Amino acid sequence: MANKKHYMPSKRLNPAMQARRIDDLQRLVRDSERQMKQIFEMVDSSYARHLEVLANFARHNMGNAIQTMYAALVKFDEEEEWVKEIKGAINNLNGILDSFKEVIPYEDSNLTIPKVLIALDTLTRSSCYMSKIEVNYVYDSKDSKTLNLPFQYMLQVLHNLMTNAIKALQDREEPKMIEVRAYRDEENCYFIIKDNGIGITEENLDKIFEYRYTTTEGGSGIGLYFVKYIIENRLNGKVLVEQNIDEYSTIFNLQIPYGHD
């Protein structure tokens, strides 16, 4: 008589075992998200502290050194060639320091749309020039309304989007164009960055804000993740991506409540 084979179900197919595995995975995801949030908070704190140190160094140490050099030159004949050369070098240093102050302001309480866009232009002007990119800033230069928003968050978010736009234009023939538009209403401020670069494929459109996701060789996959995280989680705003409007292939729209009197 043939021996009967007893069917032993695999433990991996056991419903109770699968439920435990799912619970374990969900717990790992929650732990990872919590750890990521803690990392961002630590980076934020460290970043702010380093910026404070840099700002103080620029305002006091460098500023005092430049004034001391000016004072020392007063003792010499202004018509001497070497005096003129040193004064020219000091003036260049002063210009660099002024640009640095635009990027790292004294405080957030005086943030306006013009100030943050001037800082953005200061940071990206050289890269755009080297890449032969035409950049057009559209905003009200006389808008003095204070935005109750952290300057460095705003600048970093806009800089990340500009960096993305510059990369998207690297392999494109001229004209290469970026438009940065900003305005506000009574509740929100709006920043729109457009480029006519290679665009985003439909396949990648839903993935571009995922952590570590990148289509660029050597890219970190953090830039756009950071944009979405800061705008939505820290500033209670919204990020919208559009494609192929007029002559532009990619358009990032930011809507951010800025607080008002």
Closest residue by Cα to residue 151 from 110, 99, 98: 110
- Supply the pLDDT for residue 5: 58
* 120 and 205 housed in the same domain: yes
Last residue of a domain, one of 76, 104, 132: 104
- Total domains in the chain come to 2
Distance CA(213)–CA(205), nearest Å, equals 11
Query: What is the average per-residue pLDDT within 171-177?
Result: 88
Query: Within a domain: residue 55?
Result: yes
Query: Within a domain: residue 10?
Result: no
* 61 and 144 housed in the same domain: no
CATH number at residue 145: 3.30.565.10
Distance CA(31)–CA(25), nearest Å, equals 10
* 88 and 70 housed in the same domain: yes
| Banded pLDDT at 261 (limits 50, 70, 90) | very low
| pLDDT tens figures, 72-116 | 777 777 778 887 888 888 777 777 666 655 555 545 557 899 989
- Percentage of the chain beyond pLDDT 70 is 70
CB 166 within 8 A of CB 182: no
Query: Within a domain: residue 11?
Result: no
Q: Tokens 């990369």 — which residue?
A: 167
* 92 and 127 housed in the same domain: no
Q: Which of 16-20, 43-47, 58-62, 129-133 has the lowest mean pLDDT?
A: 43-47
* 89 and 195 housed in the same domain: no
Give me the domain span that covers residue 40: 18-104
- Supply the pLDDT for residue 36: 61
Query: What is the average per-residue pLDDT within 54-60?
Result: 60
- Percentage of the chain beyond pLDDT 90 is 23
The per-residue pLDDT of the chain, averaged, comes to 78
Last residue of a domain, one of 86, 104, 122: 104
Q: What is the 3-state secondary structure (H, E, C) of 197-215?
A: CCCCCHHHHCCCCCCCCCC
* 71 and 188 housed in the same domain: no
Comparison of pLDDT for 55 and 199, the residue scoring more: 199
* 190 and 177 housed in the same domain: yes
Last residue of a domain, one of 75, 104, 133: 104
- Supply the pLDDT for residue 48: 55
Distance CA(83)–CA(105), nearest Å, equals 32
- Supply the pLDDT for residue 101: 58
* 235 and 141 housed in the same domain: yes
Cα torsion angle, 29, 33, 39, 40, sign: positive
- Supply the pLDDT for residue 122: 84
CB 122 within 8 A of CB 128: no
